[in-house]
């Protein structure tokens, strides 16, 4: 059985479920040409930034315990910070 990371699975799911992204890339390349910044930004945004953001979310979720929660300083209620009693 092949095991894939969560980030890779989300990336593949993102690409498979949203085919209009490829249409947007093709449109940008057609309108602005292969050497334009707009076409480059379209490709970079989809193929690099989204997986990087998903990876950063995963890292922040895994390292959340490094940072102590201080419910008295927060402006929003966090159910994980409730003080029993």
Residues 17-47 have pLDDT tens digits of 666 767 777 777 788 887 888 777 777 777 7
Asked whether residue 59 is domain-assigned, the answer is: yes
Q: Is 32 left (phi over 0), alpha (psi -120 to 50) or beta?
A: alpha
Asked whether residue 71 is domain-assigned, the answer is: yes
Asked whether residue 49 is domain-assigned, the answer is: yes
Asked whether residue 1 is domain-assigned, the answer is: no
The predicted pLDDT at position 78 comes to 66
Total structural domains within the chain: 1
Q: Regarding predicted confidence, which is higher, 77 or 81?
A: 77
The predicted pLDDT at position 64 comes to 80
Which residues form the domain of 28? 6-81
Residue 57 has pLDDT above 80, yes or no: yes
Asked whether residue 40 is domain-assigned, the answer is: yes
Query: In the structure encoding, which two tokens stand for residue 70, read together?
Result: 């201080």
């Amino acid at each position: 059985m092949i095991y894939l990371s969560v980030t890779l699975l989300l990336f593949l799911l993102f690409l498979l479920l949203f085919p209009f992204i490829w249409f947007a890339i093709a449109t940008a390349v057609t309108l602005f040409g292969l050497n334009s910044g707009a076409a480059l930004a379209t490709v970079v945004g989809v193929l690099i930034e989204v997986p990087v953001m998903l990876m950063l979310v995963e890292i922040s979720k895994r390292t959340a315990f490094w940072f102590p929660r201080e419910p008295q300083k927060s402006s929003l209620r966090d159910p994980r910070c409730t003080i029993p009693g």
